[in-house]
Amino acid sequence: MNADASLISHFDALLLDLDGVIYIGPHAIGHAVSACARARSEGLALAFVTNNASRPPAMVAEHLRELGIEASEHDVVNASQAAARVIADRLPPGSPVLAIGGPGVRAALIDRGFVPVDSADPTPAAVMMGYGPDVGWKDLAEASYAVQAGALFVATNPDTSFPTPRGMAPGNGTLVAAVVAATGCQPIVAGKPYRPLIVESIERVGSTRPLMIGDRLDTDIEAAHNANIDSLLVMTGVTSVRDILLATPQHRPTYIAPDLRGLFMPLDQACVANDPVPSMCAPLLTAAAAAWARADAGQDPCADVDVAALESLVSAGLTR
C-alpha cells in the first residue's frame, strides 16, 4: 500500500456504524456530515450498517437526510435484512416464518419472499427474533414451541441492552436468551459481531475493498475480523484509550482515528501496522501496537503507558 495516499483511497466502500460514528441520539457527530459527502465525491459507496432491527431502513435514511447526509433507503442495511438473508440461504421463498419483533422484522421477511406468521401451530419453517417494544411472554412462548418442534432459529442481533432516556433497557439478546433458556437451543445470529450483516452490506454496495468503520471493539471491529475485512476505529463513541490497549486480537482495529477526518489523512498517519509519522494520533497508534505486542508475549499490555496523557491527546485531536 502507498503510505502517502489517503486512507480512503485504498477502499471502494465504507460500511458505517451509526451510533457513535455518525450520530449520538438526534445530533450528528462532528465532521461526520462533511466526511460522508467527501467520501461520496471521491467515488466511494456508503452503506449505513445497524444492528437496530426495529427501525425500517427508510426511517433511518430520513434521519440521516435530516442531519444533512445524502442517504436512500437502499444505503441502510439492518440486522433484520441480514437475518432474512440467513433464512433465504437455507429455506425456499414462500416458507412460513414466525416473526417476533417490530415492523422491521416482518418487512425484511416479506422482501425475501417469506410468509410471516404469528403462531407455532402449524410449525413454521423458521423463527426470526428481533427487538420490538410490544414483544411479550406469548411471543416468547410461540418462539419456544416452534424452536422445540425443529424450526430454524435465527436472531437479528445479540445486543443485550440499549440506552433510553430512563436508563438501560432489555435488548433483543435478552429476549432471545429467554427462548434459549426455555429450549436449550442456540440461534444463528445475523447482526454484528457476526458475519451475515457485513456480508449483506458488502453485497448491497457491490464492494470488493470495503472498510468497516465503528466505535465499538466487541461489535464493529470484531465483525470486521469475522468477515475478514479491514476496520477503522473512531474515538467518537464508547471506546476509551484503555479499551484499545487491552484489546484482544479479534478486537484490534486495522486503523484508528480520532474521528472520520482520519479517512482523508495519509495512510501512515492513521495506521497501526505501518510506522506512524508524527500526527495527532501517532502516539496512540504506537502505544497500541506496543501494548498488543506485550499482551501477545504474555506481558502486561499497559506497563509504563501514560494512559491519561494519551487520552488528552485524543481529546485534543477531537476538538481541532
Q: Which stretch binds Mg ion (CB under 5 A): 3-11, 17-25, 149-157, 179-187?
A: 17-25
Instruction: Identify which of residues 19 and 268 has a Cβ nearer to Mg ion in the complex.
Output: 19
Catalytic pick among 4, 12, 19, 215:
19
Tell me whether residue 236 or residue 269 sits nearer to Mg ion (CB atom).
Answer: 236
What value, to the nearest 5°, has the Cα angle with vertex 270 and ends 212 and 308? 105
Measured from the Cβ of residue 23, the count of other Cβ atoms closer than 10 Å reads: 19
Active-site annotation holds for 19: yes
As to burial, measured by CB atoms within 10 angstroms (0-12 exposed, 13-18 middle, 19+ buried), residue 230 is middle
Residue type, 91: L
Q: Could you tell me which stretch among 9-17, 39-47, 138-146, 277-285 binds Mg ion (CB under 5 A)?
A: 9-17
DSSP-assigned beta bridge partners for residue 78: 50
Nearest residue (beta carbon) to Mg ion: 20
Chain residues 190-219 in contact with Mg ion, contact rule CB under 5 A: 215
Considering only 20, 57, 158, 171, the residue that binds Mg ion (CB under 5 A) is 20
Which residues touch 72 (CB under 8 Å, ≥6 apart)?
Answer: 61
* Helix then strand then coil, % of the chain, to nearest 5: 45, 20, 40
Pick the closer one to Mg ion by CB: 142 or 215: 215
How many residues line the site for Mg ion (CB under 5 A)? Answer: 4
Q: Verify whether residue 89 is a known catalytic residue.
A: no
Cβ closest to Mg ion, residue 11 vs residue 162 = 162
Q: How far apart are CA 95 and CA 125, in angstroms?
A: 6
Residue 222 lies near Mg ion (rule: CB under 5 A): no
For residues 150 and 164, the answer to whether their CB atoms sit within 8 Å is: no
Residues that are catalytic: 17, 19
Interface ranges with Mg ion (CB under 5 A):
17, 19-20, 215
